């Protein structure tokens, strides 16, 4: 007769594992002897080895009891079922590994490839990392709420980066991230932004807004990203409104009757 330590040693498991299998009802606990110790026989060793083998093969403990009592056909069918489950888990874990690898790249977090390409191009053009980080956070919000519109947005943004005047304006905006609210240069930035809006074709703007409708709640979140990132943002928005426009994510003409 064997003590619990000896049983564990013969079966190649720990005493803690034996007690765990007892608690799960997989291995019966023998009665205590006169000395107060539990003694195990050879059958207990064999059962424990079976349990250990099934557990190491990936069989859930909830199914071990079923397999121990199964006949040959039932055992084979159960093994096939468990194998299917394990293969599904492997596929899930492989997908998780892909996502973890994407997370390591930073910009890939919750963003589609076209957005990652846009951020990479911003970086190639030398925009400040703080500006790129703000863009990334904003596009993560957009991708989560209106993913179907991301290709359209990114095509527009890539087109803007093809325009030297827009790139230069973006560079100045990147510098403005570090300006104080009373910096006189903010007026120039406001003039440029309003100039772009004034030069745009109203019909094209209306068609774009009709095609890509951003929920009001998302507009507020995106505006908040801008305000939180840029200390001078409230003052810049005031300057833009003085020039007849309001908003940031969704810029609109100020109603003259309320000016």
How confident is the model over 135-161, as pLDDT tens digits?
Answer: 888 999 999 999 999 999 999 999 999
pLDDT at residue number 109: 63
pLDDT at 225 over 90: no
Q: What are the residue ranges spanned by the domains of the chain? A: 1-69, 71-104, 109-258
Q: 226 Cβ partners below 8 Å, 6+ apart?
A: 134, 138, 233, 248, 249
pLDDT at residue number 194: 92
pLDDT at residue number 92: 85
Mean pLDDT of all residues in 5-22: 92
pLDDT at 125 over 90: yes
**Beta strand 252-253 with 245-246: parallel, antiparallel or unpaired?**
antiparallel
pLDDT at residue number 15: 93
Q: Are 179 and 235 in contact (CB under 8 A)?
A: no
Other C-beta atoms lying within 10 Å of the C-beta of residue 238: 13
Beta pairing partners, 253: 245
CATH T-level fold of 1-69: Multidrug-efflux Transporter Regulator; Chain: A; Domain 2 (1.10.1660)
pLDDT at residue number 99: 61
Backbone φ and ψ of 14, nearest 5°? -95, 160
Give pTM, 2 decimals.
0.55
pLDDT band at 17 (very low <50, low <70, confident <90, very high): very high
What's the pLDDT tens digit per position in 53-110?
A: 888 888 888 888 888 888 888 888 888 888 888 888 888 888 777 666 555 555 666 7
Q: 220 Cβ partners below 8 Å, 6+ apart?
A: none
Rounded CA separation 241/233 (Å):
12
Which of 84-93, 108-117, 240-249 has the largest mean confidence?
240-249
pLDDT at 38 over 90: no
pLDDT at residue number 95: 79
Rounded CA separation 71/75 (Å):
6
pLDDT at residue number 258: 47
pLDDT at residue number 255: 73
């Amino acid at each position: 007769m064997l003590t619990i330590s000896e049983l564990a040693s013969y079966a190649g498991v720990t005493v803690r594992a034996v007690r765990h299998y007892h608690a799960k009802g997989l291995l019966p606990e023998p009665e205590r002897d006169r000395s107060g110790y539990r003694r195990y026989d050879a059958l207990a060793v064999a059962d424990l080895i079976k349990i250990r083998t099934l557990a190491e093969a990936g069989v859930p403990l909830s199914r071990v009891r079923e397999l121990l009592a199964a006949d040959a056909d039932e055992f084979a069918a159960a093994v096939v079922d468990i194998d299917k489950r394990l293969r599904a888990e492997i596929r899930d874990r492989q997908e998780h590994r892909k996502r973890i690898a994407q997370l390591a790249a930073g910009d890939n977090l919750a963003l589609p490839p076209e957005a990652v390409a846009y951020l990479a191009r911003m970086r190639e053009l030398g925009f400040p990392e703080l500006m790129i980080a703000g863009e990334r956070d904003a596009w993560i919000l957009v991708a989560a709420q209106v993913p179907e519109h991301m290709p359209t947005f990114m095509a527009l943004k890539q087109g803007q980066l093809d325009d030297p005047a827009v790139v230069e304006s973006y560079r100045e905006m990147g510098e403005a991230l570090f300006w104080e609210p009373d910096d006189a240069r903010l007026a120039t930035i406001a003039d440029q932004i309003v100039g772009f809006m004034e030069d745009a074709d109203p019909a094209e703007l209306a068609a774009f807004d009709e095609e890509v409708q951003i929920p009001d709640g998302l507009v507020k979140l995106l505006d908040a990203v801008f305000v939180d990132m840029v200390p001078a943002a409230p003052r810049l928005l005031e300057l833009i409104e003085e020039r007849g426009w309001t908003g940031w994510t969704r810029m609109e003409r100020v109603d003259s009757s309320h000016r």
